[in-house]
Amino acid sequence: MVTARGARCEEALVDAIRAHGRGLLLLAYRVVRDPDAAEEVVAEAYFRAWRARGRLRDENLPAWLRRTVFRSAIDLRQAEARRATLPLDEAVDVASPARGPEATAIWNEERRMVRAVLARIPSPFREAVRMREIEGWKVAPAAAALGVSTRMLKYYVARGRGIFAALFSGSLDTGGLA
């Protein structure tokens, strides 16, 4: 059973979607640069608006829709950027053959040293550094994946950086890892 207030909310939502739908789609497209992804973002915003229709005020609805579309598009773009970032173990050799065999050899040696130093860092610090510094995770998702608070994750990253710097500079001083 739909109440009079519920019917007004539904009608206002439908009117807002009709009036602002194209602008919302353009906003999403400007952020994600993919028409299909933009449509998904806008559809998700409509779904969220439908679920929250009883709590939204008519005069704020267009602004709420724009803000929701923008935030969802940013979230999608960041999630795709994280997926596009390869872990160090899976990274392809980016040294160009045009740069010569010496540049390639230096690149490969540096990469081997970084991997060796990372392997010597204690687990929670290594994983935090890998997720934040190498794979580019945001703080909150990385903390959730590790099952720690954001404050603890920041501590792990800072401590892991310190350990990495000490081990790496030590490996440079000795000409490699022992």
Cα–Cα separations (whole angstroms), residue 11 to 17, 49, 64, 84, 89: 10, 12, 16, 41, 53
DSSP symbols for 37-65: HHHHHHHHHHHHHHHTTTT--GGGHHHHH
Q: Give the separation between CA 175 and CA 16, rounded to whole angstroms.
A: 66
Residue ranges per structural domain of the chain: 4-84, 89-173
Please check whether the domain covering 4-84 is classified as CATH 3.30.360.10.
Answer: no
Q: Give the separation between CA 134 and CA 4, rounded to whole angstroms.
A: 54
In CATH, the number for domain 89-173 is 1.10.10.10
pLDDT in tens, 28-75: 988 888 888 899 889 888 888 888 877 877 667 888 899 999 888 888
More reliable by pLDDT, 45 or 83: 45
pLDDT in tens, 14-30: 888 889 889 999 989 88
pLDDT in tens, 91-135: 444 544 556 778 778 877 878 888 888 889 998 898 898 888 888
